[in-house]
Chains A and B, each alone.
Chain A
Amino acid sequence: MRFVAAKACAGSRARAGALYIGGNSAAPIETPSLMISTLKGLPAFISRDHLGDLPAPDSHLLHVSPIHFLDCPATKTICTIGGLHQMVGLHDHFFIASPRDSLESLPESDGTNKLGASFETPSGRQLVKPSAYMEMITSLMPNLWASMADEVPAWVSDKRNKTSVDRTLRWLDECINLDLEGGKNVLGFVVGGSSIEERKRCATEVAARNVSGFWIGGFGLGESIEERPALLHAVTDSLPEEKLRLVSGLSLPGVDIIQPFLSTEIAA
């Protein structure tokens, strides 16, 4: 994967870029770009034999949540099958993994503790530890993956918010350590809730690690729309310009790839 942040828009933080995902597509994906949501690796609305009808290579960016695979297949089976791309028959597509999605894997901060992050899933509330998460990442082999995070809603106490940043940073280090490739394809997760300070702190700390890019999360969890620009700017101002930035839960200038909140519902 190669990302080139190109032209910045004068007078704004917006920037155009090119994402080279390799494989058969020589042409890059132009950013800002959207990821297509998937359920267990397949878009909910279109089977693999029709995916080719969508514009390429822009439609090759897919989001996958490893949490969808908690129940089955077993990680050992996914390994023997040959990983996510082989399992869903999408060898030319570019998968970016992060735990949260808008339908089947919703972060549940009340259940999150020092051991792991909690998610509401169709099979109930699940606590996911970094070790389990990395086992799934290793077997799935997505092209890029976000580290685990403690995403909290905007109304938590300052203390809870600070804890969420500490945990997120600790889990980033843990995930990199557990990664057999040493974090080659990791996207460092940035949180911080509604606090400008915590956002800055988290972003600066994550940027200090050797990551491929950044996953900016913790949005769409109760903060007001007016607050968002300032919070996002606090993050992006602390991140190196040449690296890829993804965001979930919203879309604002200054980011490159967006995880749409409602794409599955709209398509359905």
Chain B
Amino acid sequence: MVISIIYLSMFFNLFLGTIKGLTNIQLEEIGCQLILGNTYHLALRPGAELIDELGGLHKFMNWKRALLTDSGGFQMVSLLHLADITEQGVTFQSPVDGKPMLLTPEESIQIQNKIGADIIMALDDVVKTTITGPRIEEAMYRTLRWIDRCISETVGTYNWAAHKRPDVQNLFGIVQGGLDPVLRDICVRGLVDRDLPGYIKQYMLKENIREPTILMNILVIMSSMKANLTSYWDSYAIGGLVGGEDKDSFWRVVAQCTASLPEDKPRYVMGVGYPLDIVVCSALGADMYDCVYPTRTARFGTALVPEGILKLKNRAMANDERPIDLTCSCMVCKNYTRAYLHGLVTKDAMGSQLLSYHNLSYMMRLSKNLHTSIVEGRFPEFVRGFLQTQFPRGDVPEWVCNAMEVAGVDISSCCTPLASWHD
């Protein structure tokens, strides 16, 4: 399988107009190009109208680079007492006064038009992958119908015409279908027919997403998408994963989607994730990711390092004078020791901030290394190096071995003989 990744993105999202723990300057410093905003949170506070009046989210938060908003649907499903999902839209209980409210696909797009992000997403009927049965099929078809309402001028007797700014905002559609390859396939074909600028694989996290994740390298994608003005479909998203499914199912769905989605448009896997998952998905042909993991794990005192993780709360760190990561050149690793950070993490806000900074730098570095290794034609070598560092004893998980085989990346040198069953 040809890996058609031209650019690789890792993005993080913002909460109420700021990244938790980092300033805009720090984000620019670590190379972040694109930030995701949660439409649900932004619409609550400060409100889409206010953001629009003040000139859009870029101006509101003084971020000169790119922004992406999701549809708002996921937060409602995961955060609120959900009343109902009907053909009309998602009804939920307003967190402000408890009254029932309805979010329709059109309204989601209109809110996102006001917020003004460069990339916006259609409301999808999100279903956890742990759910089985006809609900998944219903959700998949409904997602397609809702997408049509976002882009069509007229559907039936209604005049939807929702997306008002296709010239400056790129609309992503989401691939649903649970873990069922047939349903996924139908959804992919449905979206491909609509000729989107890019694709999103929607993942549902086990925990609620309440916080920021960050994006990078999107400028390359942006320029290619802006050129594509004739198509309504700007991009493709692969959705509905990361809801408790096992890793084996997870990579198979990603593989299936990337195999059928057009190669010349970005594929964005929402909610992924752990560095290992990102490397695997990249091998399978995905381009963009978002996750709360680096900042959340920082608040629990865990640092991301090439070997895996480093728990700074651990007593062994109390007198360790090394930086978090000797190979890292971020501001935190240049100035602070594990011993000092040990005293800060989980006790002082500055500890979370500094650790978030390092973790985000790590993710940026990982994305950049993946990108560069692909461009320089040594991606398999990079993957092998990554796996050897993370699994020095050769105990690479089986799902990774299987995924890499499908991806066409030879990692036999990283695995112990027992795990490798192919020559």
Binding site for B on A (CB under 8 A): 39-40, 42, 44, 47-50, 69, 71-74, 76-77, 80-81, 87-89, 122
**A31 to B353, alpha carbons, bound, how many Å?**
32
Q: Are A47 and B357 in contact (CB under 8 A)?
A: yes
Complex CA distance for A69 and B348, rounded to whole angstroms: 13
- Does any Cβ of A come within 8 Å of B331's Cβ? yes
Q: How far is the CA of A81 from the CA of B335 in the complex (A)?
A: 11
* B340 x A73 contact (CB < 8 A): yes
Interface centre among A40, A44, A76 (most CB of B within 10 A): A40
Complex contact B348–A81 (CB within 8 A): no
Residue contact A42 to B335, C-beta cutoff 8 Å? no
B337 interface hit (Cβ, 8 Å): yes
Q: Shortest Cβ distance from A247 into chain B, in angstroms?
A: 26
Task: Indicate if the CB atoms of A89 and B347 lie closer than 8 Å.
Answer: no
Q: Are A40 and B344 in contact (CB under 8 A)?
A: yes
The answer to whether B347 and A81 touch across the interface, beta carbons within 8 angstroms, is no
- B340-A87 in contact (CB<8A): yes
Q: State the CA gap A49–B335 with chains docked (Å).
A: 10
Query: Which one, B29, B331, B337, B357, contacts A81 given CB within 8 A?
Result: B337
CA of A39 to CA of B348, assembled, Å: 8
Of all chain B residues, the one with the shortest Cβ separation from A43 is B350
- Contacting A at CB under 8 A, from B295-343, are 318-319, 321, 331, 334-337, 339-340, 342-343
B350→A69 contact, CB < 8 A: no
CB distance from B375 to the nearest CB of A (A): 30
Asked if B319 and A77 make an inter-chain contact with CB atoms under 8 angstroms apart, the answer reads: yes
Q: Is the CB of A74 within 8 A of B343?
A: no
The number of chain B residues touching the other chain, given as a range, is 20 to 34
Bound Cα distance A74, B350 (Å):
20
The 8 Å CB contact of A80, one of B318, B321, B357, is B321
Closest 3 CB pairs of A and B: A89-B335, A73-B339, A72-B343
A76 to B339, CA, bound (A): 11
Residue pair B350, A73 in contact (C-beta under 8 Å): no
Decide if A40 touches B343 in the complex (CB within 8 Å).
yes
Closest residue on chain B to residue A71 by CB atoms: B343
Smallest CB gap from A69: residue in B = B343
Question: In the bound complex, what is the Cα–Cα distance between A44 and B340 (angstroms)?
Answer: 15
Chain B interface (Cβ < 8 Å from any Cβ of A): 23, 25-26, 29, 318-319, 321, 331, 334-337, 339-340, 342-344, 347-350, 353-354, 357
- B26 contact set on A, CB distance < 8 A: 47, 49-50
The answer to whether A47 touches B343, judged by C-beta atoms less than 8 angstroms apart, is: no
Chain B residues, Cβ within 8 Å of A73? 318-319, 339-340, 342-343
A76 to B321, CA, bound (A): 11
A73 to B338 CA separation, bound complex (whole angstroms): 10
User: Known interface pairs A44-B350, A47-B350, A74-B318. Does A81 touch B339 (Cβ–Cβ under 8 Å)?
Assistant: yes
A184–B258 alpha-carbon span in the complex (Å):
70
Chain A nearest CB: distance from B59 CB in Å?
Answer: 21
> Which residues of the other chain, A, contact B357 by a CB distance below 8 angstroms?
47
Closest residue to B343 on the A side, CB-wise? A72
What residue in chain A is nearest B353 (Cβ atoms)? Answer: A47
Of all chain A residues, the one with the shortest Cβ separation from B320 is A77
Query: What is the bound-complex CA distance between A53 and B339, given in angstroms?
Result: 27
**B residues within 8 A CB of A87?**
336-337, 340
What's the Cα separation between A44 and B319 when bound, in Å?
23
Question: Taking A49-B26, A87-B340 as contacts, is the C-beta distance between A74 and B348 under 8 angstroms?
Answer: no
Question: What is the minimal beta-carbon distance from B356 to any residue of chain A, in angstroms?
Answer: 10
A88 touches B349 (CB 8 A): no
- A residues near B321, Cβ cutoff 8 Å: 77, 80-81
User: Given contacts A49-B26, A73-B319, A81-B321, is CB(A42)–CB(B350) below 8 Å?
Assistant: yes
CA distance A87 to B340 in the complex (A): 7
Assembly CA distance A142 to B63 (angstroms): 38
Taking a contact as CB atoms under 8 Å apart, the answer to whether A44 and B23 are in contact is no
Could you list some 5 contacts between A and B, CB below 8 A?
A42-B350, A47-B331, A73-B342, A77-B319, A87-B337
Complex Cα distance, B342 from A74, in Å, reads 11
Q: How far is the CA of A42 from the CA of B331 in the complex (A)?
A: 15
Q: How far is the CB of A266 from chain B (nearest CB, A)?
A: 15
Q: With A47-B354, A80-B321 given, name 4 new contacts (CB 8 A).
A: A49-B29, A72-B343, A73-B343, A89-B335
Whether A72 touches B339, Cβ cut-off 8 Å, given contacts A47-B357, A49-B26, is yes
